[in-house]
């Protein structure tokens, strides 16, 4: 299969988009609330951040914006229960969308060049 210059540019743009999405990834914040009867774990979207610099609430308003309350932020056990991780489901969905758009654009540009 011979690729035209436009098709190569589309593929390079798709690869760059996937790379950028991987470097500036979506994150999930997870916090465990320890209760007397049962424990509860809450997951919240924590925004997009650089892969080498995970997010973290540095003040009560930031924590409140993510979890809707500040009581836990002031708890002495707060740092033990809060964890951040890359939202792999969201990231894979974004990558899939880029792949579909890239393949669609390459296919559409092939039809026009014939």
Give pLDDT tens digits for 69-111.
666 666 665 555 778 899 999 999 999 999 999 999 999 998 6
| Cβ count near 44 (within 10 Å) | 14
The whole domain housing 109 covers: 5-113
Three-class DSSP category at 67 = helix
| Cβ count near 87 (within 10 Å) | 20
pTM, two decimal places: 0.76
**34 has pLDDT over 90:** no
Tell me how many domains the chain contains. 1
Query: Which whole-number Å values give the CA distances from 40 to 19, 28, 79, 94, 103, in the listed order?
Result: 35, 16, 16, 29, 42
Rounded to 5 degrees, φ, ψ at 84 are -120, 140
pLDDT for res 83: 82
**60 has pLDDT over 90:** no
pLDDT for res 55: 83
| Distance in angstroms (rounded) separating the CA atoms of residues 86 and 92 | 11
């Amino acid at each position: 299969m011979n690729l035209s210059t436009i098709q190569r540019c589309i593929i390079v743009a798709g690869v760059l988009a996937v790379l950028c999405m991987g470097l500036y990834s979506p994150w999930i914040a997870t916090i465990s609330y320890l209760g007397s009867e049962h424990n509860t774990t809450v997951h919240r979207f924590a925004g997009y951040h650089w892969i080498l610099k995970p997010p973290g609430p540095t003040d009560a308003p930031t924590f409140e914006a993510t979890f809707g309350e500040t009581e836990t932020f002031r708890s002495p056990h707060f740092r033990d229960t809060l964890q951040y991780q890359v939202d792999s489901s969201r990231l894979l969905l974004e990558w899939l969308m880029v792949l579909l758009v890239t393949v669609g654009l390459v296919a559409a540009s092939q039809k026009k060049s014939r």
